[in-house]
Amino acid sequence: MSSSIYDLKVMINPVRGGQKPDYFSRPEAEKVLRFHQTVPSYRPTPLVALEELAGKIGVGGIYIKDESERFGLNAFKALGGTYAMARILGRKLGLPEDKLDFGYLSSLEARNKAGAFTFVTATDGNHGRGVAWGAAQLGQKAVVYLPRGTARPRVDAILETGSEAVVTDMNYDDTVRLAMQKADENGWYLVQDSAWEGYTEVPAWVMQGYMTMIYEALEQVNEKGLKPPTHIFLQAGVGSMPAAVLGFLVNDPAIEQIKAVILEPHNAACIYHSAAHKDGKRHAVKGDLQTIMAGLACGEPNLIAWDILRDFSYAFVSLEDYFAARGMRVLGHPVGSDPRIISGESGAVGAGLLTLLMEKPELEPVKDQLGFDEGSRVLVLNTEGDTDPGNYIDVTWNGKYSLPNGRELTYHLD
Ligand SMILES: Cc1ncc(COP(=O)(O)O)c(C=O)c1O
């Protein structure tokens, strides 16, 4: 059970604004995209408008960016790992960042010049799979550490790339410290998707890599003749992905007013917890971080990400696991002619929250505070597919993590 007595905790960010992060500007995103386009399996992931669902729940639009199709890896994460590894190799080879080419970096010539690299990382699954896959494609080695309790299919997906995968007896944050120690001991390159004092360059590259997802999404909104989104749901682990996406959005005058709502599971809500302190600083949450949203089970916010999320998020939300399960069922069982989307625990939480907010009368004050009405157009990033297939079946077939029956959902609004 969660430690929270509320199903949902919501905090509207009282002060928004600050220095815009030039690291996440459109010109930077274009360099990243150009690199990703050189990855052989690159193609833009789909953006689908769920028109019938939008009509049914009473919003103006629901746009799902479906990252379950990214590079055939079932999650968005390889966007970051591949870009960071390319930057590391590019530096060794003296290549400027706008000349990075995946084909060249994986060529025999480049490997002979750059030498053999071992990349190391800690992961709850998706990031490590991306690093392992990218390293294998680049003809380099990867060693991946995973926290205790990692679902077996996530470990197997890493082993299948030929990389080493080690399940520790620690939680996520301690596993990151172990990976850092192994990098120091062995002269390996740490490719971590979080930043802390003294370790910011590589994670900033990882975060830049994620911009391809939002860059493509906005292009697709335009191409399809859709109206721009008014809201975006951003699910946070350490906050790298949401901060990269939000950093990009606030740099774009056409969409900087979008309301970004940060979502986290109660037991790992380090961004919410940091915001709740109201001192502008990062604060960790401790413990085993238990949640079905494995990708979000992180207790320590990314140093770079926190400043962006603190300054530009519209609201912070912490919630129970069954919001994610609800989203998995909703997206897997479409209304009318809407397409079916396979969405895993960390990918589905936005859809789960949106449908419940619009449906449950007891959540109306929350809906109003977040500014949802019949004109709202919501961008949801389905950041993963069924990365834990056993749990996917348990949730969608067997009704695991169902809504609490016979009582109203409770919330705390700050
Ligand atoms: C599927 C999925 N969604 C969202 C996230 C959150 O990303 P971040 O940890 O950068 O906040 C992760 C992180 O691993 C993830 O795997």
Catalytic residue among 9, 65, 77, 259: 77
Q: What is the mean pLDDT of residues 266-288?
A: 96
Query: Which secondary-structure segment (H or E) carries 390?
Result: helix 389-396
Span from the CA of 413 to the centroid of ligand 1 (angstroms): 25
Atom of ligand 1 nearest to the CA of 240: 10
Span from the CA of 109 to the centroid of ligand 1 (angstroms): 34
For ligand 1, pick from 272, 289, 383 the residue to mutate: most ligand atoms within 8 Å of CB.
383
Q: What domains are defined for the chain? A: 8-75+203-413 (3.40.50.1100), 78-192 (3.40.50.1100)
For ligand 1, pick from 71, 296, 302 the residue to mutate: most ligand atoms within 8 Å of CB.
296
Predicted local confidence at residue 45, as pLDDT: 98
Spatial separation of the C-alpha atoms in residues 347 and 13, rounded to whole Å: 23
Spatial separation of the C-alpha atoms in residues 81 and 89, rounded to whole Å: 12
Counting Cα atoms < 13 Å in the Cβ hemisphere of 387 gives 36
pTM, entire model: 0.97
Span from the CA of 239 to the centroid of ligand 1 (angstroms): 8
For residue 390, pLDDT beyond 60 = yes
Predicted local confidence at residue 258, as pLDDT: 97
Tell me the three state secondary structure of residue 279. coil
For residue 243, pLDDT beyond 60 = yes
pLDDT digit string (tens) for 179-189? 999 999 999 99
pLDDT digit string (tens) for 358-389? 999 999 999 999 999 999 999 999 999 999 99
Q: Which residue has the tokens 């079946």?
A: 393
Span from the CA of 237 to the centroid of ligand 1 (angstroms): 5
pLDDT digit string (tens) for 56-110? 999 999 999 999 999 999 999 999 999 999 999 999 999 999 999 999 999 999 9
Give the residues surrounding ligand 1 with Cβ less than 6 Å away. Answer: 75, 77, 124, 126-127, 193, 235-242, 295-296, 298, 346-347, 383-384
CA distances from residue 196 to 173, 200, 290 in whole angstroms, order as listed: 12, 6, 23
Atom of ligand 1 nearest to the CA of 387: 1
Is 169 known to be catalytic?
no
Span from the CA of 297 to the centroid of ligand 1 (angstroms): 9
Is 173 known to be catalytic?
no
The answer to whether 125 touches 383, Cβ cutoff 8 Å, is no
Closest residue by Cα to atom 15, ligand 1, is 295
Angle between helices 321-332 and 345-359 (to 10 degrees): 90
Q: Which residue has the tokens 């906050």?
A: 239
Tell me the three state secondary structure of residue 143. strand
